[in-house]
Amino acid sequence: MNKFFQTCAIAGLTAAAAFTATSLEARPSRATTGAKYIIFLIGDGMSSVQVQATEAFLAANNGLDPNVATEMDNAENLLNMNLLPVRGINTTYASNRFITDSAAAGTALATGSKTNYGVIGKDTSLTQSYMSIAEMAQEKNYKVGIVSSVSLDHATPGAFYANVDSRNSYELIAVQAAQSGFNFFGGGGWRRASNNAYPAAFPAMSGNTLTEMFTLAGYSMLNDETSIRALKSAPQDMVVCTVPVLQSSDAMPYEIDRAPGAISLAEMTEIAIDCLYANNTTGFFLMVEGGKIDWACHANDPMGTIGDMVDFDNAVGKAIEFYNQHPDETLIVVTGDHETGGLTIGFSGTGYETSFANLLNQASSYEAFGAVLAAYKTNRSFSDPYDPVSENIDSAMKTQIVDSFGIDYDSLSAYRQQRLEDAFDRSMGGVPLTGTSAPSGYVGGSTTIDSLNYGGYDALTMELCHQFSQDTGLGWTSYAHTAVPIPVMAMGFDDYRFAGFYDNTDIAKSIAAAMRVSHDLPHVVAVED
């Protein structure tokens, strides 16, 4: 069992639990100056299913049975976000797609405006740029912080400070981060940190590095845990904190893979709050993204998903701890930007049964298992050309499978063994998949069923994730996003604004109203020539 599942502490339980359903009533605003402290937490890819599955896992982790209502409802299984008293639900569609992406959804959540798939902070014509609620907070002399478990120039964090035609313009997004004047950036790294593309977009810099760009803009760049943790006792302003160990795409490690004692998303949130609150009589706005929930769901990785859900919820707990000290001035809002993976609780092969205790058998994320698989492939000699008849899963791979997923190959049915063997041949030797081609028009084209079976990921890794999920009673319908509505939870100043059913653009508008900003949303700040 991975270390962090042993201590899924729920912060802020007592104070949050003291709120009752009466908080849902439309209470009058308590001041004309607006919320002083706003903490907006976005679980990328998170819907009600991810929330419910995580609580069911916590029940199993606590030795309780999610199939028994009284045990499932035990307070120790509840996520911090589900202790927030005001509930809503929002739609997520983009201007040009019913199924959105994080750029369009992030723009909606940050600016109160719909836009097209892939666009950040601009309208559909790409001729107008919008001001984000973070920038509106800055205009009120609030300090502003951005925290994410993925790279800090990714779509969701970027939506709060950048205006670009394409979410893939990582260099320009990072330049706009440096130019933002925001007080704190923390979590992952920057996607183009090692290239020389920054000077063209930021001519004032004297060198070619991202570090020089931020330094010239007045930031301190920290990337070791000692220096980052020192901010708790000696907070700084204008600081960029990147954890020293990153996984692919310059993101923080998945929580299930995080080394013992390494900085988590929750701890980075705590550090951000410390820095933003210090020497600050005006207020602050903090956006925290659990970005790797989305990435794990894209890969249909059950414990990659739930692990990062737990870490994200612990970040919510840090927000609640701060709220407990400043209850009359703080607003906490939690939501997702869209659902990812089409996750559902229920699988045709398990009927009405679930077995969430099975999740305790997964030891690492799909990404970490992929690294193990790559080493195995390097160390094993295969026939040349690869022969799928003679090449089979050997004892070493069987051991790795049981160690990583708790799946005992030899006890499986012949059907399940064959599924694994087909995936093994695809992973090790690139053997074409058996069966009919995908229908014309499917993602991936009409000549391959790779996209349907494995979504472009490693075949054996995906087959194991699927069989492991199915043993638990979980199902996945997609490797992409879905269009299901997303829950919203809120607590604190003007929290009544977040009750009901509404569009994702209304969340930004409600936060802006709670801050008493001087602009209506969406607010155009620039018109392109």
Per-residue pLDDT of the chain (529 residues; tens, 9 = 90+): 444 454 454 444 433 444 433 344 444 445 678 999 999 999 999 999 999 999 999 999 999 999 888 888 888 899 999 999 999 999 999 999 999 999 999 999 999 999 999 999 999 999 999 999 999 999 999 999 999 999 999 999 999 999 999 999 998 899 899 999 999 999 999 997 776 666 666 665 555 678 888 998 999 999 999 999 999 999 999 999 999 999 999 999 999 999 999 999 999 999 999 999 999 999 999 999 999 999 999 999 999 999 999 999 999 999 999 999 999 999 999 999 999 999 999 999 999 999 999 999 999 999 999 999 999 999 999 999 999 999 999 999 999 999 999 999 999 999 999 999 999 999 998 876 655 556 666 665 544 677 788 988 999 999 999 999 999 999 999 999 999 999 999 999 999 999 999 999 999 999 999 999 999 999 999 776 5
Give the global pTM.
0.93
Write phi, then psi, for 187 (nearest 5 degrees). 130, -110
Distance from the Cα of residue 35 to its chain's centroid = 26
Helices (H) and strands (E) in the chain, counts: 19, 16
Q: Is 466 annotated as a binding residue?
A: no
The answer to whether 216 and 205 are in contact (CB under 8 A) is yes
Ordered domains of the chain (ranges, CATH):
37-344+481-524 (3.40.720.10), 356-431+444-472 (no CATH)
Buried b / exposed e along 77-98 (16+ C-beta atoms within 10 A): bbbbbbbbbbbbbbbbbbbeee
Q: 251: which DSSP letter?
A: B
- Is 257 labeled as ligand-binding? no
Q: Is 505 annotated as ligand-binding?
A: no
User: Is 156 marked within a binding site?
Assistant: yes
Residue 298 known to bind ligand:
yes
102 is a catalytic site residue:
yes
Closest CA to 385 of 417, 425, 355: 425
Residue with tokens 């679930």, as numbered in its chain: 354
Which residue of the set 23, 47, 48, 102 is catalytic? 102
- Rg of the chain over Cα atoms, rounded to whole angstroms, equals 23
Non-local CB neighbours of 469 within 8 Å, separated by 6+ positions: 300, 302, 347, 475, 476
Contact 219, 240 (CB under 8 A): yes
Query: CA 114 to CA 122: how far, in whole Å?
Result: 9
| DSSP secondary structure code for residue 58 in this structure | H
To the question of whether residue 450 is assigned a binding role by annotation, the answer is no
The candidate with the shortest Cα–Cα distance to 346, out of 70, 80, 56, is 56
